[in-house]
Amino acid sequence: MNNLRKNNGFASILEVIITSIIFLIAAYGVLNTISMLRPNSAESARKLEAAYIGKQIIEDLRNNIDASIWVSGSNLDVGIYNQTVAGTYTTYTVNYVISEVPGYPAGEGPRQLIMNITYPDI
């Protein structure tokens, strides 16, 4: 009868220690997974901001299209352009090339834009 009372009582110290160890291992795994997600979200934010900066530059170039200055005298001239843009997360380096599309007379055909945006790894 005395043994029966011992088995019906609160958990033994050994059971509490083992349960605590299992809980700590599980909590470590969850916290480790959460901490690994944070750098990826920061990288995504920088990529998204770089895309918005590129889109803004393209919109600025598109707004400057004018038949009277299409051939020369504008930032739409054929050439290589470099800009540094300060963003919320980091500083972005924007390099773009405006070139003539092959198959058209020089200075009379459409132009193409190739853009590259870089930023430092944090």
- Count up the domains in the chain and report the number: 1
Residues 18-29 have a mean pLDDT of 94
The length of the chain in residues reads 122
Residue whose structure tokens are 């997600």:
37
Decide if pLDDT at 2 tops 90. Answer: no
Which is higher by pLDDT, 87 or 78? Answer: 87
Q: Are 74 and 66 in contact (CB under 8 A)?
A: yes
Q: 94: domain range?
A: 2-118
Percent of the chain with pLDDT over 90: 32
